[in-house]
Protein backbone atom coordinates (compact mmCIF):
# COMPACT_ATOMS: atom_id res chain seq x y z
CA UNK A 1 0.00 0.00 0.00
CA UNK A 2 1.62 3.23 -1.15
CA UNK A 3 0.46 6.48 0.44
CA UNK A 4 0.97 9.97 -0.99
CA UNK A 5 1.57 12.70 1.58
CA UNK A 6 1.17 16.39 0.71
CA UNK A 7 3.20 18.52 3.09
CA UNK A 8 3.77 22.19 3.93
CA UNK A 9 6.42 23.61 6.24
CA UNK A 10 8.25 26.70 7.40
CA UNK A 11 11.90 25.82 6.87
CA UNK A 12 13.42 28.34 9.27
CA UNK A 13 14.03 25.91 12.14
CA UNK A 14 15.00 22.92 9.98
CA UNK A 15 18.33 21.72 8.65
CA UNK A 16 16.62 20.92 5.36
CA UNK A 17 14.38 18.05 4.35
CA UNK A 18 16.79 15.11 4.58
CA UNK A 19 17.33 13.25 7.83
CA UNK A 20 20.66 14.06 9.53
CA UNK A 21 22.06 12.80 12.83
CA UNK A 22 21.35 15.11 15.79
CA UNK A 23 19.71 17.76 13.58
CA UNK A 24 16.05 18.69 13.23
CA UNK A 25 14.79 17.94 9.72
CA UNK A 26 11.38 17.75 8.04
CA UNK A 27 11.91 14.11 7.09
CA UNK A 28 12.89 13.28 10.65
CA UNK A 29 9.75 14.90 12.11
CA UNK A 30 7.43 13.13 9.69
CA UNK A 31 9.09 9.72 9.96
CA UNK A 32 8.99 9.92 13.75
CA UNK A 33 5.25 10.62 13.60
CA UNK A 34 4.62 7.75 11.16
CA UNK A 35 6.71 5.38 13.27
CA UNK A 36 4.68 6.30 16.36
CA UNK A 37 1.39 5.61 14.55
CA UNK A 38 2.61 2.29 13.20
CA UNK A 39 4.30 1.33 16.50
CA UNK A 40 7.35 0.62 14.38
CA UNK A 41 11.07 1.32 14.93
CA UNK A 42 11.78 4.75 13.50
CA UNK A 43 14.78 3.55 11.49
CA UNK A 44 12.49 1.23 9.51
CA UNK A 45 10.25 4.09 8.31
CA UNK A 46 11.44 5.93 5.20
CA UNK A 47 9.71 8.59 3.14
CA UNK A 48 10.57 9.23 -0.51
CA UNK A 49 10.27 12.92 -1.41
CA UNK A 50 9.73 14.82 -4.67
CA UNK A 51 12.49 17.34 -3.94
CA UNK A 52 14.94 17.64 -1.05
CA UNK A 53 14.85 21.25 0.13
CA UNK A 54 17.91 22.84 1.71
CA UNK A 55 18.17 24.26 5.21
CA UNK A 56 15.84 27.24 5.65
CA UNK A 57 13.78 26.63 2.48
CA UNK A 58 9.99 26.54 2.89
CA UNK A 59 7.30 24.50 1.13
CA UNK A 60 3.56 24.60 0.61
CA UNK A 61 3.43 21.93 -2.09
CA UNK A 62 5.92 19.24 -1.10
CA UNK A 63 5.02 15.63 -1.98
CA UNK A 64 6.30 12.39 -0.47
CA UNK A 65 5.30 8.73 -0.42
CA UNK A 66 5.62 5.85 1.98
CA UNK A 67 4.87 2.14 1.59
CA UNK A 68 2.81 0.23 4.16
CA UNK A 69 2.05 -3.47 4.41
CA UNK A 70 -1.53 -4.68 4.14
CA UNK A 71 -1.44 -5.52 7.85
CA UNK A 72 -0.31 -2.01 8.75
CA UNK A 73 -3.11 -0.52 6.64
CA UNK A 74 -5.72 -2.76 8.29
CA UNK A 75 -4.44 -1.80 11.75
CA UNK A 76 -4.73 1.89 10.90
CA UNK A 77 -8.22 1.36 9.52
CA UNK A 78 -9.29 -0.47 12.66
CA UNK A 79 -7.98 2.26 14.96
CA UNK A 80 -9.67 5.23 13.25
CA UNK A 81 -12.46 6.98 15.14
CA UNK A 82 -14.23 8.78 12.32
CA UNK A 83 -13.98 9.43 8.59
CA UNK A 84 -11.83 7.60 6.06
CA UNK A 85 -8.48 6.04 6.87
CA UNK A 86 -6.78 8.83 4.90
CA UNK A 87 -8.61 11.57 6.82
CA UNK A 88 -7.82 9.87 10.10
CA UNK A 89 -4.15 9.57 9.19
CA UNK A 90 -3.95 13.26 8.31
CA UNK A 91 -5.45 14.28 11.66
CA UNK A 92 -3.35 11.89 13.71
CA UNK A 93 -0.08 12.74 11.99
CA UNK A 94 -0.68 16.46 12.49
CA UNK A 95 -1.53 15.83 16.12
CA UNK A 96 1.78 14.05 16.68
CA UNK A 97 3.84 16.57 14.71
CA UNK A 98 2.32 19.56 16.50
CA UNK A 99 3.79 18.37 19.81
CA UNK A 100 7.19 19.52 18.53
CA UNK A 101 6.00 22.79 16.95
CA UNK A 102 3.57 24.05 14.36
CA UNK A 103 6.03 24.45 11.48
CA UNK A 104 5.09 21.23 9.60
CA UNK A 105 1.60 20.35 8.39
CA UNK A 106 0.42 17.29 6.47
CA UNK A 107 -2.16 18.86 4.18
CA UNK A 108 -3.41 15.55 2.83
CA UNK A 109 -2.92 11.77 2.75
CA UNK A 110 -4.19 9.62 -0.09
CA UNK A 111 -3.76 6.13 -1.47
CA UNK A 112 -1.35 6.61 -4.36
CA UNK A 113 -2.34 5.48 -7.86
CA UNK A 114 -0.54 2.45 -9.27
CA UNK A 115 2.94 3.36 -10.49
CA UNK A 116 3.19 6.58 -8.45
CA UNK A 117 6.64 7.57 -7.22
CA UNK A 118 6.89 10.95 -5.50
CA UNK A 119 10.38 11.53 -6.86
CA UNK A 120 10.66 9.73 -10.19
CA UNK A 121 7.10 10.23 -11.46
CA UNK A 122 7.33 14.00 -11.15
CA UNK A 123 7.35 16.03 -14.36
CA UNK A 124 8.45 19.30 -12.77
CA UNK A 125 8.93 21.28 -9.56
CA UNK A 126 7.94 24.94 -9.16
CA UNK A 127 9.52 27.39 -6.72
CA UNK A 128 8.94 31.04 -5.87
CA UNK A 129 11.43 33.49 -4.43
CA UNK A 130 10.45 36.82 -2.78
CA UNK A 131 12.66 39.94 -2.85
CA UNK A 132 11.63 43.26 -1.27
CA UNK A 133 13.71 46.00 -2.90
CA UNK A 134 13.80 49.76 -2.21
CA UNK A 135 10.35 50.36 -3.72
CA UNK A 136 8.59 47.42 -2.00
CA UNK A 137 6.43 47.50 1.10
CA UNK A 138 8.46 45.69 3.76
CA UNK A 139 6.04 43.66 5.82
CA UNK A 140 7.78 42.51 9.03
CA UNK A 141 5.32 39.60 9.25
CA UNK A 142 6.87 38.19 6.05
CA UNK A 143 10.50 38.88 6.95
CA UNK A 144 11.17 35.15 7.43
CA UNK A 145 10.00 34.47 3.87
CA UNK A 146 11.40 37.46 2.00
CA UNK A 147 14.88 38.74 1.15
CA UNK A 148 15.19 42.46 1.90
CA UNK A 149 17.43 44.26 -0.58
CA UNK A 150 18.53 47.90 -0.37
CA UNK A 151 18.76 48.53 -4.13
CA UNK A 152 15.98 49.64 -6.48
CA UNK A 153 15.92 46.68 -8.89
CA UNK A 154 15.03 46.82 -12.59
CA UNK A 155 12.14 44.36 -12.93
CA UNK A 156 12.04 44.45 -16.72
CA UNK A 157 15.74 43.66 -17.08
CA UNK A 158 15.51 40.83 -14.53
CA UNK A 159 12.49 39.30 -16.23
CA UNK A 160 13.98 39.46 -19.74
CA UNK A 161 17.33 38.01 -18.63
CA UNK A 162 15.67 35.21 -16.67
CA UNK A 163 13.38 34.19 -19.52
CA UNK A 164 16.42 33.95 -21.81
CA UNK A 165 17.83 31.12 -19.65
CA UNK A 166 14.93 28.71 -20.22
CA UNK A 167 15.49 25.45 -22.05
CA UNK A 168 17.82 22.47 -21.74
CA UNK A 169 21.26 23.57 -20.51
CA UNK A 170 24.15 22.54 -18.34
CA UNK A 171 23.49 24.69 -15.26
CA UNK A 172 26.83 23.87 -13.65
CA UNK A 173 27.51 27.58 -13.14
CA UNK A 174 24.40 27.78 -10.92
CA UNK A 175 24.83 24.54 -8.94
CA UNK A 176 26.96 23.60 -5.98
CA UNK A 177 29.40 20.98 -7.35
CA UNK A 178 28.87 17.36 -6.38
CA UNK A 179 31.27 14.74 -7.68
CA UNK A 180 29.66 12.57 -10.34
CA UNK A 181 26.36 14.49 -10.32
CA UNK A 182 24.88 15.81 -13.54
CA UNK A 183 23.98 19.51 -13.73
CA UNK A 184 21.98 19.24 -16.96
CA UNK A 185 18.43 20.44 -16.38
CA UNK A 186 15.46 21.71 -18.40
CA UNK A 187 14.37 25.11 -17.12
CA UNK A 188 10.73 25.24 -18.21
CA UNK A 189 9.76 28.71 -16.94
CA UNK A 190 11.60 31.52 -15.20
CA UNK A 191 10.18 35.01 -14.87
CA UNK A 192 9.77 37.94 -12.48
CA UNK A 193 6.80 40.08 -11.47
CA UNK A 194 5.74 42.41 -8.64
CA UNK A 195 2.88 41.62 -6.29
CA UNK A 196 0.42 44.16 -4.86
CA UNK A 197 2.99 45.27 -2.26
CA UNK A 198 5.66 45.79 -4.89
CA UNK A 199 7.59 42.71 -3.76
CA UNK A 200 9.54 41.05 -6.57
CA UNK A 201 8.44 37.45 -7.14
CA UNK A 202 10.55 34.96 -9.09
CA UNK A 203 8.57 32.03 -10.47
CA UNK A 204 10.86 29.14 -11.48
CA UNK A 205 9.81 25.76 -12.89
CA UNK A 206 12.08 22.93 -14.06
CA UNK A 207 12.11 19.17 -14.47
CA UNK A 208 14.45 19.09 -11.46
CA UNK A 209 16.91 21.37 -9.69
CA UNK A 210 20.47 20.71 -8.61
CA UNK A 211 21.81 21.91 -5.29
CA UNK A 212 21.28 25.69 -4.71
CA UNK A 213 20.30 26.23 -8.37
CA UNK A 214 17.24 28.44 -7.77
CA UNK A 215 19.04 30.64 -5.25
CA UNK A 216 21.97 31.08 -7.65
CA UNK A 217 19.59 31.95 -10.49
CA UNK A 218 17.98 34.56 -8.25
CA UNK A 219 21.38 35.92 -7.23
CA UNK A 220 22.33 36.43 -10.87
CA UNK A 221 18.98 38.13 -11.61
CA UNK A 222 19.55 40.59 -8.75
CA UNK A 223 22.90 41.55 -10.29
CA UNK A 224 21.10 42.10 -13.60
CA UNK A 225 18.49 44.20 -11.76
CA UNK A 226 21.28 46.35 -10.29
CA UNK A 227 22.75 46.76 -13.80
CA UNK A 228 25.98 45.14 -12.65
CA UNK A 229 25.62 42.03 -14.84
CA UNK A 230 24.70 42.29 -18.50
CA UNK A 231 22.80 39.79 -20.62
CA UNK A 232 25.92 38.79 -22.57
CA UNK A 233 27.82 38.26 -19.33
CA UNK A 234 24.99 36.14 -17.92
CA UNK A 235 25.00 33.88 -20.97
CA UNK A 236 28.78 33.61 -20.83
CA UNK A 237 28.42 32.38 -17.25
CA UNK A 238 25.78 29.83 -18.33
CA UNK A 239 27.92 28.57 -21.22
CA UNK A 240 30.95 28.26 -18.96
CA UNK A 241 29.02 25.70 -16.86
CA UNK A 242 31.37 26.22 -13.91
CA UNK A 243 30.77 27.83 -10.53
CA UNK A 244 33.03 30.82 -11.21
CA UNK A 245 30.89 33.93 -11.37
CA UNK A 246 30.30 37.41 -10.03
CA UNK A 247 27.05 36.87 -8.15
CA UNK A 248 26.01 35.40 -4.82
CA UNK A 249 23.72 32.56 -3.87
CA UNK A 250 20.91 34.35 -2.03
CA UNK A 251 19.60 33.39 1.41
CA UNK A 252 17.29 30.40 1.74
CA UNK A 253 14.54 32.26 3.60
CA UNK A 254 13.02 33.79 0.46
CA UNK A 255 12.51 30.44 -1.28
CA UNK A 256 9.38 28.28 -1.22
CA UNK A 257 8.57 25.03 -3.04
CA UNK A 258 5.11 25.79 -4.40
CA UNK A 259 4.05 22.76 -6.40
CA UNK A 260 5.12 19.44 -7.92
CA UNK A 261 3.57 18.38 -11.22
CA UNK A 262 2.72 14.79 -12.19
CA UNK A 263 1.33 13.19 -15.37
CA UNK A 264 -2.12 11.50 -15.54
CA UNK A 265 -2.42 8.37 -13.41
CA UNK A 266 -2.06 5.99 -16.36
CA UNK A 267 1.32 7.57 -17.24
CA UNK A 268 2.89 7.59 -13.75
CA UNK A 269 4.75 4.28 -14.01
CA UNK A 270 6.13 5.05 -17.46
CA UNK A 271 7.32 8.46 -16.31
CA UNK A 272 9.11 6.94 -13.30
CA UNK A 273 10.81 4.34 -15.50
CA UNK A 274 11.91 6.99 -18.01
CA UNK A 275 13.31 9.27 -15.29
CA UNK A 276 15.32 6.45 -13.70
CA UNK A 277 16.74 5.43 -17.08
CA UNK A 278 17.78 9.00 -17.90
CA UNK A 279 19.53 9.39 -14.56
CA UNK A 280 21.36 6.11 -14.99
CA UNK A 281 22.59 7.17 -18.43
CA UNK A 282 23.68 10.57 -17.11
CA UNK A 283 25.56 9.05 -14.19
CA UNK A 284 24.89 9.59 -10.50
CA UNK A 285 22.58 12.57 -10.18
CA UNK A 286 21.94 14.96 -7.37
CA UNK A 287 18.56 14.47 -5.72
CA UNK A 288 15.99 16.91 -7.14
CA UNK A 289 16.39 19.76 -4.69
CA UNK A 290 17.16 23.34 -3.89
E strand map for the chain: 2-9, 48-49, 58-67, 104-111, 124-132, 147-148, 167-170, 184-194, 200-206, 255-261
Question: What SS3 state is found at 160?
Answer: helix
- Residues annotated as part of the active site: 54
**How far is CA 23 from each of CA 13, 65, 154, 264, rounded to the nearest angstrom?**
10, 22, 39, 37
6, 254, 278 from 283: Cα distances, Å: 30, 31, 9
Give the span between the Cα atoms of 226 and 154, in whole angstroms.
7
Query: CA-to-CA distance for 249 and 226, rounded, in angstroms?
Result: 15
Amino acid sequence: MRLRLDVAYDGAAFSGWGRQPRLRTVQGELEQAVATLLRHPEHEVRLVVAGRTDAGVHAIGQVAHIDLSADQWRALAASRRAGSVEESLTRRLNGLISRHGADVVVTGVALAPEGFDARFSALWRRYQYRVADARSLRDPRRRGHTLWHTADLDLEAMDAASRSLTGLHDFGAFCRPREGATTIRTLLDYGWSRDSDGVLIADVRADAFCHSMVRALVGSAIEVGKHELGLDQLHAVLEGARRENGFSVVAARGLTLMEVGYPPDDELAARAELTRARRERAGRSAEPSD
